[in-house]
Chains A and B, each alone.
Chain A
Amino acid sequence: MKTARLEEEQLIERYILRQMTEEEASEFEAFYLSNQECLDQLELAQRLFQGLEMIAEAPDVVPEPKVTQISSHKSWWQRQVPAWSLAASLLLAILPSGYLYHTLSQQSFPDSHISVINLPLSELRGAEQAITVKRDDKQVILSAYIDTDITTMDFPLYGFQLSKGDAQEPVWQLEDLQLTNDGMLYIDLGKNYLQAGRYQFNLFGLEGGERQVLLKSGLLDVSR
């Protein structure tokens, strides 16, 4: 198979777009199996295709969830958010549901900049044992699965708050969060932004008129 034929017949694109017959695809696969140059082109085309799919599904820049400042003093959350953090904040909205993942517990992946911590919603109060977050260079994302088959869990929007110590007012909160197609909520706590200490978190459902329904509360221990 000549390189010119790859271009003329758009073999790479047709393969990536799954437009080949099974016979054609098998023949092409046997060809590219040991052809590093062709594999380079295939990987590139696949990545390009995935990117185009994603921007076609989310053609405009997706706004970040609204972050509300409540406490008056300057806090960690007022720092400039790096692009990495922004990316993680936005990826839920930009990615198709098939790309989303389920977390069963805390997961910190090697070679990853992300640590994902699951908030189990099986019981309302989960404060018996605090969830521990180790402050390091990883970006922390909390995830929670909302079972919308349970009517008391199904809300148009959700919110999340963090309070510190005995303070009544939260020091940080996110509003207007929506579920992904997989029923997941993701809360980006940023990268290394949380001061060490113990926080109380509240996850709540939001109905019209600002009414909040507490879905989960618990403790978050941020350690150095």
Chain B
Amino acid sequence: MTELSEAEVARSLVARILNGEAAAETEMVQRYNRGLVFMLNHRARNHALAEDLAQETWRIVIEKVRGGDLKDPSKLAAFIVQTGKNQLLMIYRGSHHKKTTTEVDTAQSLDPASQPQLIIERYNTALIVRKLVDEMKTPRDRELILRFYIKEEEKQQICQDLGLNELHFNRVLFRARQRFKQLWNEYVEAGADP
């Protein structure tokens, strides 16, 4: 069976919501929420705030879709992204609906990584990354990773300095991500310290 394209799925979901099908709203949230929270977290650098804004985003999106305000249903994902970004903008402009929020509350809600378990998780992430970097066989690969991710140097410049072609560069990044994935999964599955 051919998999439906994103545009087809979006059109179908919108049509069903317009038809009053509550299950379609649930499907929509299930389909896009993970991405929405990731996007908001990436932009806000605060997971708790991202979760909070995602809730508000869904309230607005559902209301608008039900009201037929979405002109091009195939662009549902873009519409959700834009609505989420608007919520974030309102936070930064201080005009979010939670007018009763005090300055202290706002500062706390914008404080990144305010939960100890998140701090521990990040610490463990650092240990795993340290292991990953230490495992890299060649100093050149280590240099590539650090220059690209940390110093944020251009790919072309790094390739030129290290005498690599782009294909090799891509492979090193890909391998690093895959190995990191493996180490991370081992850590999660073990439920223990890295």
Contacts and interface: CB of A to CB of B under 8 A. Distances in A.
A84 to B, nearest CB: 6
B27 to A, nearest CB: 11
Interface stretch (B17-25, B63-71, B90-98, B111-119): B111-119
Interface string B33-74: 011101100100000000000000000000000000000000
- B interface residue count range (under 10 / 10 to 19 / 20 to 34 / 35 or more): 35 or more
A213 interface: no
A13 interface: yes
Most A Cβ at <10 Å: residue of B31, B108, B120:
B120
A124 interface: no
B77 A30 contact: yes
A10 B130 CA distance: 23
A109 B114 CA distance: 11
B59 to A, nearest CB: 17
Interface string A3-41: 000011010010111010000001001111111100101
A141 B128 CA distance: 24
A111 interface: yes
A101 B193 contact: no
A119 to B, nearest CB: 16
Contacts of B39: 29, 32-33
B15 interface: no
B111 A101 contact: yes
Given A33-B32, A87-B193, A55 B129 contact: yes
A46 interface: yes
A45 B123 contact: no
Interface string A87-98: 110110011001
B11 to A, nearest CB: 13
A90 B123 contact: yes
